[in-house]
Amino acid sequence: MGALPAASPAVHCRPVPARHPPVRSVLPVLFVLLALALLLLPAPGGTAAAQEAPAALTLPVPAGSPEQPEDPGDQRTIAGLRARAYESGPIEIVRTLATTPQYTSYLIAYPSDGLRVTGYLNVPHGEGPFPVLLVNHGYVPPAGYVAVASNYTKREGDFFAARGYLTAGSDYRGHGNNPGNAPGAHLESAYVVDAMNLLAALKRYPRADAGRVGVWGHSNGGSVSERMLVVSADVDATVIWAGVSADAVDAWLYLRDWLHRPEREVRERWGHPDETPDLYRRMSSRQYLGEVVGPVQIHHGTADASVPYQHGADLDRGLAAAGKRHQLYTYPGAPHNWSGPTWETAIGRSLAFFDANVKGAA
């Protein structure tokens, strides 16, 4: 690996326009279409076949809307994720994956909501206790997932472990042979729960220092990490690479406009932000940035075709407005996944950030 370029000062974006245009309901349009259809129907006794009028959308009222006040058990919301208990292990060592001069890597399993979920654990050689880094991976097709082997962010977990961190990453429920449903990270909290349960288990692991904890995430794993930093007061520092926004309205628009899910499908599963704005506000980590405990470092490439650069820039603006310590590093022309000099620069900056705020934490 070549020498790392000197870290440049944090690059904060200039004020940008609003995140997205207002999301408006399509119901008024449907009512107009229904009226026109009725006008075009033939009079009784006519010979033309009657045209079936379009059905109006009937949207369920999700729990936690103004009509149904906050439910502390609603784990879609940040309050619900804060209110619940997390399982603290035990961590099962399934087998040894590799032994290097700096650390030993294990395939592990741990309990999460009654499910046996796999992952990896890298333990540095020595007595410890060692500072902890939880590494959250992004989207990998669940059906073809192979435990740990499909977790592309083990590269980063291995890098940090070789430098004195006890690192771990969850494969998440529903991936490969793991039981449970794999609902995705957008507007869903299952993977956040899996990550929080692994963190709770790590805090009781004998060679882990529960007082020094960092979280790193990429892509969808960035969304998981962003929610963790407002759910847990135990996170000393967070690093997000090319992260999907954990703002619920951003996530709804991301499903529709970037992943090209049919709007009706998105509505049927998650409702509509205009019709349950209070619920969407309470699902959004960015409404709680004023309560973030540790500093945050954001990395994003301007040529990212998988996650809009705006997601990282908006998190930077939100943290600045909340008066929280943070850094934004912009990589001109960089795509979603990094290698070579971009990766070397980003990993060097991330290591220095964790060394200062996790390893060196009192």
Which amino acid does the sequence have at 249?
V
> What does the pLDDT read at residue 248?
94
Which amino acid does the sequence have at 269?
R
To 10 degrees, what angle do helices 154-161 and 340-354 make? 50
> What does the pLDDT read at residue 70?
54
> What does the pLDDT read at residue 63?
38
Question: How many whole angstroms separate alpha carbon 313 and alpha carbon 12?
Answer: 8
Residues spanned by the domain of 198: 89-247+284-359
Query: For residue 148, is it within any domain?
Result: yes
Query: For residue 26, is it within any domain?
Result: no
CATH number of the domain that residue 213 is part of: 3.40.50.1820
Chain position carrying tokens 């076949």: 49
Query: For residue 278, is it within any domain?
Result: no
Question: How many whole angstroms separate alpha carbon 36 and alpha carbon 40?
Answer: 6
Which amino acid does the sequence have at 274?
D
Query: For residue 277, is it within any domain?
Result: no
Query: For residue 51, is it within any domain?
Result: no
| Whole-structure pTM value | 0.80
Query: For residue 230, is it within any domain?
Result: yes
Query: For residue 254, is it within any domain?
Result: no
Query: For residue 62, is it within any domain?
Result: no
Per-residue pLDDT of the chain (362 residues; tens, 9 = 90+): 433 333 333 333 323 333 344 444 444 443 344 443 433 333 333 333 333 332 222 223 333 444 445 566 788 899 999 999 999 889 999 999 999 999 999 999 999 999 999 999 999 999 999 999 999 999 999 999 999 999 999 999 999 999 999 999 999 999 999 999 998 888 889 999 999 999 999 999 999 999 999 999 999 999 999 999 999 999 999 999 999 999 999 999 999 999 999 999 999 989 999 999 999 999 999 999 999 999 999 999 999 999 999 999 999 999 999 999 999 999 999 999 999 999 999 999 999 999 999 998 75
In the chain, the number of structural domains is 1
> What does the pLDDT read at residue 286?
94
